[in-house]
Amino acid sequence: MNPTAAILLIGDEILSGRTKDSNGNHLAKRLAELGIDLLEIRVVPDDHSVIVAALNALRATHKHVFTSGGIGPTHDDITADAVAAAFGVSIDVREDARAILATNYDNPADLNEMRLRMARIPAGASLIDNPISKAPGFSLGNVHVMAGVPVIFEAMVAGLLPQLTGGAPMRSTSVRLDRPEGEVAAGLAKIAARFPALSIGSYPFVSGRGFGTNIVARGTDEAMLLAAETEILTLR
């Protein structure tokens, strides 16, 4: 069994529709490559008690929880405090985080009181490197806290994931059928029943030529995937 994970996206801007999240999709792809099974993505607002409740629900259920958003310098950046509250630990400016943050500013005065908020780290956490703008993320227990800005989030993910233990990477094969789902559904159900170890999904689409169906088979066994692909191709 592969380790499991959930992603918690924190931010009013996603729920208002203003921002179209891309961090969830980015990390989903990286986790599949690593053999960590992503079982939930949850988006919650900038609300302390909602974030705490979501963190506690997800960290009890999954091997890893990855968060995105809410660790900047402004008044609406409340993720670090929520993580500390969820774990019942203290939070304060930490000297190593402050030192890292300071390297971002030529003039020491620029590391003002609001920016120092980004060096507030819950007790017991380890830092996650931020090669873009220095302000670190952190891991506490099985919760990995990262920035919301996509370029920073992706850089943090790139640094963090090699430190985690994955499982068997999920492989997939995709077959495009230019036939509507309803015509291939019966044959596909039989193929799916013959390959219970694979997850076989059917994704209809609408193109200029009418309705079509993408069939995606996913699993960890390459030979089994190829055998399934051969059968799916007969549905063309």
Q: Report the site for a copy of itself in 194-223 (rule: CB under 8 A).
A: 199-206, 211, 216, 218
Task: Show the 3-state SS of 103-143.
Answer: CCCCCHHHCCHHHHHHHEEECCCEEECCCCCCCCEEEECCE
One of 72, 136, 137, 219 touching a copy of itself (CB under 8 A): 72
Q: Is 176 in the site for a copy of itself (CB under 8 A)?
A: no
133 token code pair:
């703008």
Shortest distance, CB of residue 126 to a copy of itself, whole angstroms? 24
Number of residues that bind a copy of itself (CB under 8 A): 73
Q: Is the dihedral of CA 19, 25, 30, 36 positive or negative?
A: positive
Q: Which is nearer to a copy of itself, 122 or 154 (CB)?
A: 154
- For residue 45, the minimal CB distance to a copy of itself (Å) is 6
Closest CA to 92 of 111, 68, 120, 66: 120
The DSSP secondary-structure symbol of 75 reads T
Tell me the C-alpha distance between 232 and 236, whole Å: 8
Q: What share of the chain is helix, strand, coil (3-state, %, to 5)?
A: 40, 25, 30
* Cβ nearer to a copy of itself, comparing 128 with 152: 152
Contact residue for a copy of itself among 10, 31, 65, 225 (CB under 8 A): 31
Contact 136, 142 (CB under 8 A): no
Binding residues for a copy of itself restricted to 73-92, rule: CB under 8 A: 73-77
Site residues for a copy of itself, window 100-159 (CB under 8 A)? Answer: 110, 112-115, 117-118, 132-133, 149, 151-152
Determine if 179 is a binding residue for a copy of itself (CB under 8 A).
no
Which of 61, 126 has the CB closer to a copy of itself?
A: 61
Supply the minimum distance, in Å, between the C-beta of residue 211 and a copy of itself: 7
- Closest listed residue to residue 37, CA positions, set 59, 64, 16: 64
CB of 143 vs a copy of itself, minimal distance in Å: 18
What are the angstrom distances between the C-alpha of 152 and each of 112, 132, 160, 205, 220?
21, 6, 12, 33, 30
Segment near a copy of itself (CB under 8 A), from 82-90, 120-128, 186-194, 225-233? Answer: 186-194
Tell me: does residue 225 bind a copy of itself (CB under 8 A): no
CB-CB neighbours of 76 under 10 Å: 12
Binding of a copy of itself at residue 55 (CB under 8 A)?
A: no
